[in-house]
Amino acid sequence: AQSVTQLGSHVSVSEGALVLLRCNYSSSVPPYLFWYVQYPNQGLQLLLKYTSAATLVKGINGFEAEFKKSETSFHLTKPSAHMSDAAEYFCAVSREEKGGSEKLVFGKGTKLTVNP
Amino acid sequence: NAGVTQTPKFRILKIGQSMTLQCAQDMNHNYMYWYRQDPGMGLKLIYYSVGAGITDKGEVPNGYNVSRSTTEDFPLRLELAAPSQTSVYFCASSYMEYNSPLHFGNGTRLTVT
């Protein structure tokens, strides 16, 4: 079964600095990969998804992620952090299998703090 | 569109009590899910449904039950509440299963004491 590892449960950056949130997955077949964001007291919202069309995926709010098969990674980046980016970010993976299905598997999340 | 609506937002239960968490979606999605979120643990799938009348267990189903009599509604039932069920519960729906994004409700924060 696939799994997702998010390196760093907490990341702190200064406003205007680069945001880099790390995600590594394990899957023996090409996966579908997602990044979700959760603001305080809200449900998760989709930031972006990778479905094999392009390795660099652009999402909402200036975020993007690059699929690197050789590194089994799908790291999330944003060139310049804004105070409103403070939230918890979840990487998730799913894939289609013959004769059955795999449900979406979430990483444990990375809480992003943006300092003024 | 309201999307996915969960009620109640907060609830405190005593050990052994029962309750139903309500979830409704107005997007005509066939797939619906219940997750629980515990600090530092991500989201764990409790139950899911691929359509009206069809439900199946997820990763952590013990102590919960679900039903899916209509496309719109997917209630989660706790029969004998235990402190281990203190968590934030999220309902979600999607158009397809494998590569469709999930649409989440705003959650129900449940405390069992």
Chain B environment of A102 (Cβ under 8 Å): 98
pLDDT tens digits, B43-94: 999 999 999 999 999 989 999 999 999 999 999 999 899 999 999 999 999 9
Q: Which two tokens stand for residue A84?
A: 């409103």
Q: Which two tokens stand for residue A8?
A: 């760093």
Report the DSSP pairing between strands A10-14 and A110-115. Answer: parallel
Q: Do A49 and B101 touch (CB under 8 A)?
A: yes
CB contact A101 to B (< 8 Å): yes
pLDDT tens digits, A13-49: 999 999 999 999 987 666 789 999 999 989 999 999 9
- Closest CA in chain A for residue B99: A32
- Closest CA in chain B for residue A107: B42
Mean pLDDT of A88-98: 81
Chain B environment of A107 (Cβ under 8 Å): 42
Quick one: pLDDT at residue A97?
A: 58
Which segments within chain B are labelled E, that is strand?
A: 4-7, 10-13, 19-25, 31-37, 43-51, 54-57, 64-66, 76-78, 87-94, 103-104, 108-112
Total length of chain B: 113
Q: What is the mean pLDDT of chain B?
A: 94
Q: Tell me the three-class secondary structure of A68-92, residue by residue.
A: EHHHCEEEEEECCCCHHHCEEEEEE
List the one residue out of B109, B106, B89, B85 whose CA is nearest residue B37: B89
B23: number of CA atoms within 13 Å, CB side? 32
Q: Pick from B21, B43, B47, B90 the residue to mutate for testing the A interface (most A CBs within 10 Å).
A: B43
Categorize the per-residue pLDDT at B102 as very low, low, confident or very high, splitting at 50, 70 and 90: very high
Q: What is the mean pLDDT of chain A?
A: 90
What contacts A99, CB < 8 A, 6 or more positions away?
Answer: none
Categorize the per-residue pLDDT at B39 as very low, low, confident or very high, splitting at 50, 70 and 90: confident
Alpha-carbon distance of B67 to B23, in angstroms, equals 11
Q: Pick from A44, A57, A90, A96 the residue to mutate for testing the B interface (most B CBs within 10 Å).
A: A44
Q: Do A106 and B106 touch (CB under 8 A)?
A: no
List the one residue out of A5, A42, A36, A106 whose CA is nearest residue B58: A106
